[in-house]
Homo-oligomer: A and B are copies of this chain.
Amino acid sequence: MAKDQADISGGDNNHAVAADQLRAFVERIERMNEEKSAIVADIKEIYAEAKGTGFDSKVLRKLISARAKDVSALKEERAIIGLYAAALGMDEGIFG
């Protein structure tokens, strides 16, 4: 077995070490997943609060996703310009 390879195949003395490593990774990921779930719950709450204040949450969602898309659309546009510039042998740097 390569030395940079975790051993979980059992039978020999590296077993425990790999199991501990595995457990550590699993715990870290599960901890982060919990944090993520908490944030998702918070976001849901804010939408509910907005709804209670009279805002249509569907419209609000569209608005926010539209704003997010504007940003990614801008990046996309620059990427396309860069590609065409490269295709034409231009210096892409001039676009910032």
Which residues in B have their C-beta under 8 angstroms from that of A85?
63, 66
A43 touches B36 (CB 8 A): yes
Docked pose: A74 CA to B96 CA in angstroms: 9
> Would you list which residues of chain A between 50 and 96 have a CB under 8 Å from chain B?
50, 52-56, 58-60, 62-64, 66-68, 71, 74-81, 83-91, 93-96
Docked pose: A64 CA to B23 CA in angstroms: 11
Q: How many residues of A contact B (CB 8 A)?
A: 67
Which residues in B have their C-beta under 8 angstroms from that of A63?
26, 81, 84-85, 88, 90
In whole Å, how far is A49's beta carbon from the nearest beta carbon of chain B? 7
Excluding A4-B54, A22-B87, A26-B60, 7 further A-B contacts by CB distance (< 8 Å) are A25-B53, A28-B46, A33-B43, A36-B36, A60-B84, A66-B90, A71-B94
